[in-house]
Structure 1
Amino acid sequence: MKDEKKILGEERRQLILEWLKESQKPLTGAELAMKTNVSRQVIVQDISLLKARNEPIIATSQGYLYLQTQPQEQTYTRVVACYHTPEETLEELQLIVDHGVTVKDVTIEHPVYGDLTASVMVSNRQEAEQFIKKIEETKSAYLLQLTDGTHLHTLEANSIAKLDAACDALKKAGFLIES
């Protein structure tokens, strides 16, 4: 790696942008760093600069994603209020993704900062397990721990029926807070 040439500045950011736009899966900072022969911290700074230019890049637990402007099919979203313990997070995510629904994010209401939202972007069991594994490996706290278990999720699916089925499963498990 030391013999390889670093890709510098603007050229590197343009390559990162191209790779993100072309990729159907998230790209990690480590992957991008290796491809450009720079440190992961340089990639983090590059991503920040690209976001400052209003590039629709989001950081997920699996890596960076470029949000495509035109969805390939009609999608529906729904925000749901949930309540459970940190230990039940995997069960909650699996209940949702098993119905063909993506968990886009999690939001809590913090007493000082107001609404705090974090990207989740989990669409299947493997991604749910990877999300939990990353939380455990990094010894990170779940946002729901700041609100004793209460949180919101933005859910997305290609049909309202799938959203309804996921919500029914959450309700049956006792995770859904109903108004």
Structure 2
Amino acid sequence: MKKMLGEERRLQLLTQLKKSKTPITGTDLAKFANVSRQVIVNDMTLLKARNEPIIATSQGYLYMHQEHLQQTVERTLPCLHTSDQTEDELMTIVDCGGTVKNVIVEHPIYGELIASIMVSNRHEVKQFIERVNETQANYLSALTGGIHLHVITAPSVEVLTLIEQALEKKGYLVQDQ
């Protein structure tokens, strides 16, 4: 298979992402383009710099189609729990019909750190938790004693309210002092 070069490769990668309804791993994109995974990481950075709505999720790269963006509402929720409760927190959100877009923590040196999560069902949550466990990575909330923000998207304000109530019932929301 011939190695794709520069701009032609980025256009082909963009086409692949636009056609897919699910995330595509960097490894799969690298095989498709016959290049290294690092080349794909660089290509995604260049495409994002051109304002292409590509996000890196724990499952791979995803192109955010305009119709998907218009059909959702979002809310940022302040959360606090132990790392052992992360799976339950994420499952609670997706079981209510939401998508966990990202996690945000406030670092004393670097300021706001944001990491994409993009899980919207139990299978994706399980995959995310498995990857964390396999890599023995720490959750970003470990940097802040468990305090973090999640940007949650949902099909309606009512679903967001349901999610907020479910998290509050479990004690995962930071309460006003």
The answer to whether the 8 Å contact 1:109/1:147 transfers is yes
In 2, the alpha carbon distance for the partners of 1:54 and 1:23 equals 19
Scaled by the length of structure 1, the TM-score of the pair is 0.94
In 2, the alpha carbon distance for the partners of 1:152 and 1:5 equals 44
Deviates more, 1:45-54 or 1:154-163: 45-54
Identity among equivalent positions (%) equals 55
> SS where residue 29 of structure 2 aligns?
helix
In 2, the alpha carbon distance for the partners of 1:109 and 1:170 equals 21
Match of 1:135 among 132, 137, 142: 132
Cα deviation, 1:51-72, whole Å, max 9, x if unaligned, reads 2222221111000011223337
Counterparts of 1:134-173 in structure 2, within 5 Å, are: 134-173=131-170
- Name the count of aligned residue pairs: 176
Match of 1:94 in 2: 91
> SS where residue 71 of structure 1 aligns?
helix
Alpha-carbon offset, residue 89 of structure 1: 0.3
> SS where residue 115 of structure 1 aligns?
strand
CA separation of 1:55 and 1:74: change in aligned 2, threshold 3 A? closer
Which structure 1 segments of 5+ residues have no match?
Answer: none
Which structure 2 segments of 5+ residues have no match?
Answer: none
Counterparts of 1:28-177 in structure 2, within 5 Å, are: 28-71=25-68, 74-177=71-174
In 2, the alpha carbon distance for the partners of 1:41 and 1:149 equals 32
Pairwise CA RMSD: 1.2
